[in-house]
């Protein structure tokens, strides 16, 4: 099993009587942001090391506990060890660290002590001639037990890092893109807000599909920061996306295929933004609804285009191709959920993008043939990957 170790002991540099772990980042506290990254990586238990329990920190811990995982506040290595499962692998994030899901997921795959390192980062400790701790590690509970044997006045976090390195932990280089995606330790609220925006956008750009990475993420870099600053609710973005999607579907029903697809594409972008905000603000029901809404809008757009084209041509080819696209796409999504998704694989938002050029040229049936082929190829690739995993 996986467990998480967080620290909430350092004071914020620009706010009196506030902890760095309780500074706001995109509408939640930093410790909650860290915890959600851990939960997304598969962590089922979180231990938070505290020096004092402020009202903000206590509220954050209580909100995390409502997510259905075990969350404990401790003050010493002995208390932490007593709460942690003895066979757990621990992902440790430094106090004040902002990072991305990709970094946490990479550490979650490590089955031995691993320390994330970089060549710069003055706010953290140097652990070698050319290595500075980058604020995250995967460790064995035994490392905490070893720190517990040291004098009580030793700093818990610093001692844990030294013990882990001395035990021969592997050094994992920090990805070059991590700094641009917001990775780093911050204890200043204004600097943290800037890093938080980058980390939020990386939640989209880090996804393993070309639509989110190359289309939605660039739009998010422009749109999300002002939305976060103004506190725009996720549900407002979701409703705007739904209205725009309905407008696009209406345009398709009236046989304005290209205009309808453009509306659908922008609607899917708004729904993606809303999903990220819902994840950040722990609006789980809304996030789940949005995850179902996006493929639903796409399926309706494909079916309406096929129906309109079939009626115009007096042929069943377009409707059948639309239906084939929906069936193959649904199966591909199910298979891809159990496989390691490739960048080129189809996702619901990809189909309107493939359809748009053909529809603009008046070749809607050709576009539907391309989407059906794209879905079938994705499905075949996912099945082959799963077969290879079973054989291996």
Sequence spans of domains, the chain:
2-188, 207-391
Contact 128, 117 (CB under 8 A): yes
- Specify the CATH number for 2-188; select among 3.40.640.10, 3.90.550.10, 3.40.720.10, 1.10.10.10: 3.90.550.10
Domain 207-391 has CATH 1.20.120.1760: yes
Q: Which of 223-237, 278-292, 316-330 has the highest mean pLDDT?
A: 316-330
Tell me the pLDDT band of 122, cut-offs 50, 70 and 90: low
Look up the pTM and report it.
0.76
Range with lowest mean pLDDT among 126-135, 246-255, 295-304: 126-135
| Gap between the Cα atoms of 380 and 312, Å rounded | 32
| Gap between the Cα atoms of 353 and 290, Å rounded | 20
Closest-CA residue to 383 (of 350, 338, 351, 321): 338
Domains 2-188 and 207-391 share a fold: no
pLDDT tens digits along 234-254: 899 999 999 999 999 999 999
Contact 107, 114 (CB under 8 A): yes
């Amino acid at each position: 099993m996986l467990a998480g170790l967080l620290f909430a002991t350092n004071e914020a540099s620009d706010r009196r009587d506030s902890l760095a772990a309780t500074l706001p980042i995109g509408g939640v506290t930093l410790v909650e942001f860290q915890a959600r990254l851990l939960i997304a990586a598969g962590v089922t238990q979180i231990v938070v090391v505290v020096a004092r329990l402020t009202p903000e920190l206590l509220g954050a811990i209580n909100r995390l506990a409502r997510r259905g995982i075990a969350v404990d506040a401790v003050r010493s290595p002995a208390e932490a060890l007593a709460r942690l499962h003895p066979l757990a692998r621990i992902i440790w994030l430094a106090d004040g660290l902002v990072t991305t899901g990709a970094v946490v997921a990479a550490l979650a795959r490590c089955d031995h002590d691993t320390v994330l390192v970089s060549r710069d980062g003055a706010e953290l400790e140097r652990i070698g001639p050319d290595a500075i701790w980058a604020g995250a590690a995967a460790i064995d509970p035994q490392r905490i037990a070893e720190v517990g044997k040291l004098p009580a006045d030793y700093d818990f976090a610093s001692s844990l890092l030294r013990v882990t390195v001395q035990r021969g932990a592997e050094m994992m280089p920090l990805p070059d893109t991590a700094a641009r995606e917001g990775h780093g330790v911050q204890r200043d609220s204004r600097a943290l807000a800037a890093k938080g925006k980058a980390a939020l956008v990386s939640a989209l750009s880090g996804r393993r599909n070309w639509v989110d990475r190359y289309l939605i993420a660039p739009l998010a870099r422009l749109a999300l920061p002002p939305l976060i600053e103004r506190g725009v609710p996720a549900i407002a973005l979701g409703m705007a996306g739904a209205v725009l999607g309905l407008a696009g579907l209406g345009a398709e029903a009236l046989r304005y295929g290209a205009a309808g697809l453009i509306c659908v594409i922008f609607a899917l972008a708004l729904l993606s933004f809303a999903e990220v905000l819902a994840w950040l603000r722990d609006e789980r029901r809304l996030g789940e609804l949005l995850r179902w809404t996006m493929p639903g809008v796409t399926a309706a757009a494909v079916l309406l285009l096929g129906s309109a084209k079939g009626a115009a041509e007096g042929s069943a080819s377009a409707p059948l191709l639309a239906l084939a696209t929906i069936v193959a796409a649904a199966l591909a999504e199910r298979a891809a959920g159990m496989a390691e998704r490739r960048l080129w694989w189809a996702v619901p938002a990809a189909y309107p993008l493939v359809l748009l050029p053909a529809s603009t040229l008046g070749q809607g049936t050709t576009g539907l043939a391309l989407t059906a082929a794209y879905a079938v190829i994705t499905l075949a690739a996912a099945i082959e990957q799963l077969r290879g995993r079973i054989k291996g």
